[in-house]
Amino acid sequence: MTYKKLIPSFGCKDKKAVCLGDSGECFGDDIVTLSRHYSDNGADEILIFDMSETDSDHESTILLIKEAARTVDVPVIAGGRIKRLEDIKKYLYAGAKAVFLNGADEENIDLIKEGSSRFGSEKIYVWLPGEKYLGRMEEFCQLGASTAILHWHESHREAQETGGRNLLSQSDDLLRTLSACPCMPVLVTCLRNTPEEAAAFLRIPSVDGVILPVSRENQENCMDFKHDLKKQGIAADTFESQIPWEEFKLNPQGLIPAVVQDYKTSQVLMVAYMNREAYENTLRTGKMTYYSRSRQSLWLKGETSGHYQYVKSLDLDCDNDTILAKVRQVGAACHTGARSCFFKTLAKRECKESNPLKVFEEVFQVILDRKENPKEGSYTNYLFDKGLDKILKKLGEEATEIVIAAKNPNAEEIKYEIADFLYHMMVLMADRGIGWEEIMEELANR
């Protein structure tokens, strides 16, 4: 199913969040924390408008966008201060899914075309600061923009102030125009941040999503907003159980156990129980809710500690009697302060425990430790001491060795040369301050 998107938006100025609505207020929040809040609470994407005025502020904002993109689990759309192709590249390299350029600025016409050609049309959006620019959507589409963002508050400030039954009742022309714009998907700013207004836009086939300008007073839970949209017949991405509660096999107390894992590392965090109300509350909020057998009441994990568990997936075992929950755990899962409740070893036999998927990270951690705590006689420290040119020289040599080994019928040789190359590559990563998570995210974005 294709879902309509809910996209919170805010500007970034002087490293602080700024409202993109009429007020333009700076409400002081850290944009990384704000981005994480919306990512955890049901946003489909996040839009960050770079409102920096100087080159140094622009670079600082790029770093914040990079940190936000690494922190959240949803795509980030970025733009705002683009003067050359290099600026588009900086946003994309910071982790943005797509970059928007202001369609009202004629100097951006060539940049839209160049950006689309260089990075792909799916990476280039056009920002339309008013409905009058909708008439140029065909032009922007031909230039290579893949999506239009209609930010229309300026053209309807008077209608907003006069109020009336519904802001959209005074905007029939806008709805008709949007309905006649099938050349590219449109994201529309939702002025009043109400499900009713959003639904009116989202019923239009060409409108892929609505953008919600965030302010100090308005930092709603997107999951609640989506459930309100669904009541109006809009397809929104929420948690829906594929198997009815009646088919679960419960214990004599009417409960089902839930095994909870970290969604990235697969570490088992805890086991708790759910009744029907706890299960339904988990689906509705996207936060793990349990039934406390000792207190005989619902228990929202993290309600007092702040250590929430944000749901990523819920699965049922083959006997329908145990739930497997994969979550993003904030802080510690255990009441003792431990990350996992399972830290008491009962019995263990020596065995090879290396997880092939974690070897890269384990070796990389050793390299980082050598960088921070040099060890006499260490080859890794020798490379760090000699500097970047030596590291690059060795990396080039190892790449050449791979090419030579590939021509040899003995496949074992290739294995050893690739391992040598990867080691030297990780030394370069450590020297340049790049981690595996960034590499994996870049590959995933591609």
**pLDDT tens for each residue of the chain, 446 residues long:** 789 999 999 999 988 888 886 656 777 678 999 999 999 999 999 999 999 999 999 999 999 999 999 899 999 999 999 999 999 999 998 999 999 999 999 999 999 999 999 999 999 999 999 888 888 889 999 999 999 999 875 444 444 444 433 444 445 666 676 776 677 899 999 877 889 989 999 999 999 999 998 877 676 789 999 999 999 999 999 999 999 999 999 999 999 999 999 998 889 999 999 999 999 999 999 999 999 999 999 999 999 999 999 999 999 999 999 999 999 999 999 999 999 999 999 998 776 666 666 788 889 999 999 999 999 999 999 999 999 999 999 999 999 999 999 988 877 889 889 999 999 999 999 999 998 888 887 777 66
In the block, tokens 């998570």 appear at 437
376 Cα distance to chain centroid = 42
Give the residue from 174, 169, 221, 165 showing the smallest Cα distance to 193: 221
Q: Phi-psi bin for 84: left (phi > 0), alpha (psi -120 to 50), beta?
A: beta
Q: Among 3.40.920.10, 3.40.50.12280, 3.20.20.105, 3.10.20.810, what is the CATH number of 245-329?
A: 3.10.20.810
Nearest partner of 222 among 43, 25, 375, judged by Cα: 43
With residues binned 3-state (H G I as helix, E B as strand, rest as coil), the percentages for the chain, rounded to 5, are 40, 20, 40
CA–CA separation, 239 vs 313, rounded Å?
9
Which pLDDT does position 22 carry in this prediction? 61
What residues does each domain of the chain span? 5-231, 245-329, 359-445
Please give the structure tokens belonging to residue 196. Answer: 């009713």
Consecutive H or E run containing 139: helix 137-143
Give me the architecture of the 359-445 domain, per CATH.
Orthogonal Bundle (1.10)
Which class is 5-231 in CATH? alpha beta
Question: 């989506």: which residue's tokens?
Answer: 226
Q: How far apart are CA 94 and CA 442, in angstroms?
A: 9
Give the whole-angstrom CA distance, residue 101 versus residue 81: 8
Rounded-to-integer distance, Cα 358 and Cα 344, Å: 23
Buried b (16+ CB within 10 A) or exposed e, 99-108: bbbbbeeeeb
* Amino acid 23: pLDDT: 59
User: Three-class SS of residue 201?
Assistant: helix
CA–CA distance, 314 with 329 (Å, rounded to integer) = 14
Per-residue model confidence (pLDDT) at position 352: 64
Would you state the structure tokens that stand for residue 72, as one six-digit string?
A: 């959240």
